[in-house]
Amino acid sequence: MKKLSTLNRLLILIAALTLIPAYFTPLWQISLWAPQYPEGLNMKIWIDHLSGNVDQINGVNHYIGMKHIGDEMFPEFEYLVYVIAGMIAFGVLAFGIGRRWALYSFFGLITLFGMLVLADMYRWGYEYGHHLDPTAAIKVEGMSYQPPLIGYKELLNFLAYSGPDTGSWILIGGSALLIFAILRDRREKPTMI
């Protein structure tokens, strides 16, 4: 297998290190605005806990019978720390191996991780939005509400936003470095033959 250039190897290392901020920056954010909440309500999802206006959001959501959001609702908080640690380890390993397959595997792993996270988020949003308490004060049309996966969506008097937060943006930047490394590597290819 082809050996990687030093710069490409360094790009792998940097990409692996961009996973570290995930431990001390929020990964995802959900915001809500309403006429009487001009300042907005904001919830942040970290690697192993929630923060922000979780209580206020629960207070508002109980009118339509949504479940109480809390750390216990996310079993992911139990193992996400290990998953990310594993990915960092794999990245560092890929840097050490320094071969093309390692770069592709690492990129594949991160892409897979991102897709799984999105799928998991969608699943959670579906569960949260489709199991409304039938005795709730306000009946939502169709008794279901799928929160936005990424972007904006309106529900009653609220506009909801969901999107990546600091930790994820850094991670996305890291993945971009990997794409850059792959492109560089592919351009070098003809000269090697």
Which spans of this chain sit near other proteins (rule: CB under 8 A)? 53, 55-56, 59, 63, 137-138
To other proteins, the closest distance from the beta carbon of 86 in angstroms equals: 37
* Residue type at position 127: E
Which CB, 41 or 110, lies closer to other proteins? 41
To other proteins, the closest distance from the beta carbon of 21 in angstroms equals: 29
To other proteins, the closest distance from the beta carbon of 73 in angstroms equals: 18
Which CB, 38 or 190, lies closer to other proteins? 38
CA distance 193 to 88: 32
Which CB, 38 or 151, lies closer to other proteins? 38
In contact, 146 and 118? CB cutoff 8 Å: no
To other proteins, the closest distance from the beta carbon of 132 in angstroms equals: 16
Question: In which order are the strands placed within the sheet that holds 37-45?
Answer: 50-52, 37-45, 28-34, 158-164, 151-155
- Please, which residues bridge with residue 30 across strands? 43, 162
On the CB side of 127, CA atoms within 13 Å amount to 11
- Rg of the chain on CA atoms, in Å: 20
Which CB, 55 or 154, lies closer to other proteins? 55
